[in-house]
Amino acid sequence: ETGVTQTPRHLVMGMTNKKSLKCEQHLGHNAMYWYKQSAKKPLELMFVYSLEERVENNSVPSRFSPECPNSSHLFLHLHTLQPEDSALYLCASSQDRALGRDTEAFFGQGTRLTVV
């Protein structure tokens, strides 16, 4: 148990569906992240929230919409996805954005998303 919990673990959705991924951390961290992990590709950073404010959006299509209602929760709202969006979506958190000696990023177990 890493302290970062993601639900659901698996999700199959049609291209016209709307669904949401949920991430929860009780580590007292101030930064939260969404990453996309596709087979044989590096983890792609999608969004970064720091103190509940979105500080980074890496050119992610608008069919992905993040929400951070408080410092412990992060959502990724999905709508009209494409089959190429099928991947493992990972949430992570860290004390703050400055990673290094005393700060590491903790990852959740991910949501395996399949778009049909």
Partner 1 sequence: QKEVEQDPGPLSVPEGAIVSLNCTYSNSAFQYFMWYRQYSRKGPELLMYTYSSGNKEDGRFTAQVDKSSKYISLFIRDSQPSDSATYLCASWSSNDYKLSFGAGTTVTVRA
Q: Which residues sit at the interface with partner 1, rule CB under 8 A? A: 2, 4, 6, 40-43, 45, 48, 56, 90, 92, 97-101, 104-110
> Which one, 90 or 115, has the nearer CB to partner 1?
90
Smallest gap from residue 43 Cβ to partner 1 (A):
4
> Which one, 13 or 43, has the nearer CB to partner 1?
43
Question: Rounded to an integer, what is the distance from CA 39 to the centroid of its chain?
Answer: 17
Name the residue with tokens 């990972």: 90
> Which one, 14 or 104, has the nearer CB to partner 1?
104
Q: What is the DSSP string of 17-69?
A: -EEEEEEEE-S--SEEEEEEE-TTS--EEEEEEETTEEEEE-S--TTEEEEEE
Question: Rounded to an integer, what is the distance from CA 71 to the centroid of its chain?
Answer: 14
Smallest gap from residue 74 Cβ to partner 1 (A):
14
> Which one, 13 or 45, has the nearer CB to partner 1?
45
CA pair distance 42, 23, nearest whole angstrom? 21
Smallest gap from residue 13 Cβ to partner 1 (A):
19
